[in-house]
């Protein structure tokens, strides 16, 4: 029987962006610098190679390089979850085995993408990953990109295994989040995916969250979490509303990840441009990016001053 410290997966986990050099190759030095920046912000963990990390646009070797850099820098300080989802099960298994070898604390995966798969196919895909390591496994449910709707039945079946400890749910329904929490049981982790409803997710049963926009404003999500834990729902709601307006601005650019990387570059963390077909920020948008960064930093300063 496997036993895991589930508390380490609760709270705020950043879905980390990937880092590239001018040639578009993985930049491990930049990845280490970004991981250090996040560790200093006070978050609980990093989710490496997921949607925000452009994992599906990278080779298996590149995904290994990113994970290795992050673990080398902060693996003893933060909880590192390696997203190993891939179109081919054999690639996911290879990534999972590597994640365990280099010291990741858990693995996670979406269903295999592109083909419209039956629940039996998805279960077999996830089971192969689960069986390949001794690490805990976190299901990643994001039907708007994978096209697969996870059922409570399949979730319950997977959750019966000791190694399947939770689900990252990026579906937009908090009702579904609550239903998954009920189906998994009280010790089954449910991690909120949609950043704009972090507080809603927490209030209906989520144990924490994993999010991409956390990467440009982790302090604001930490503020929401702190207010929620302290029982100050009015203050938590205030900060969620602030975050949501910032997310609206981020989504107004042609590429969310291009906008986030441009903001980090203004702060001294040049992680390169997102990999095509994800678009970089156009030069005509740089002034607007600067204004948004200033606005985020102002709110971060306010949040820190109110602790």
Smallest CA-to-CA distance from 18 within 59, 66, 57, 56 is with 66
Active site residue ranges:
140, 168
Distance CA 73, CA 254 (A): 32
Contact 48, 80 (CB under 8 A): yes
Cβ atoms of 190 and 177 closer than 8 Å: yes
Listed residue (120, 178, 191) closest to 154, CA to CA: 120
The 10 Å Cβ neighbour count of residue 119 is 15
CA gap 48, 102 in Å, rounded: 13
Whether 104 contacts 98, CB under 8 Å: no
Dihedral sign computed on CA atoms, order 296, 300, 302, 306: positive
H/E run at residue 69: helix 60-74
Query: CB-hemisphere CA count at 13 Å for 288?
Result: 14
Query: How far apart are the C-alpha atoms of 14 and 58, rounded to whole Å?
Result: 19
């Amino acid at each position: 029987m496997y036993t895991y410290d589930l508390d380490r997966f609760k709270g705020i986990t950043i879905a980390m962006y990937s880092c590239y050099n001018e040639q578009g190759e993985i930049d491990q030095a930049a990845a280490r610098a970004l991981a250090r920046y996040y560790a200093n912000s006070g978050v609980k963990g990093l989710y490496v190679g997921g949607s925000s990390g452009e994992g599906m646009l990278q080779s298996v070797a590149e995904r290994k390089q990113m994970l290795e850099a992050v673990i080398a820098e902060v693996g003893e300080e933060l909880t590192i979850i390696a997203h190993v989802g891939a179109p081919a099960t054999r690639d996911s298994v290879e990534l999972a085995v590597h994640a365990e070898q280099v010291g990741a604390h858990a693995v996670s995966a979406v269903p295999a993408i592109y083909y419209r798969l039956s629940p039996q196919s998805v279960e077999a895909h996830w089971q192969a990953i689960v069986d390949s390591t001794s690490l805990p496994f976190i299901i990643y449910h994001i039907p708007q990109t994978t096209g697969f709707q996870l059922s409570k039945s399949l979730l319950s079946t997977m959750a019966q295994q000791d190694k399947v400890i939770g689900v990252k749910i990026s579906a937009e329904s908090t009702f579904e989040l609550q239903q998954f929490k009920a189906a998994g049981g009280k010790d089954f982790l449910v991690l909120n995916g949609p950043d704009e409803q972090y507080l809603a997710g927490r209030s209906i049963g989520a144990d924490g969250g994993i999010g991409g926009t956390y990467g440009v404003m982790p302090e604001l999500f930490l503020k929401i979490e702190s207010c929620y834990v302290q029982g100050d729902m009015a203050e938590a709601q205030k900060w969620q509303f602030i975050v949501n307006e910032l997310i609206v601005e981020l989504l107004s650019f042609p590429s969310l990840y291009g906008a986030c990387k441009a903001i980090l570059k203004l702060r001294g963390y040049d992680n390169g441009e997102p990999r095509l077909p994800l678009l970089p920020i156009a030069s005509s948008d740089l002034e607007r990016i600067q204004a948004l960064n200033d606005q985020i930093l102002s709110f971060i300063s306010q949040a820190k001053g109110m602790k």
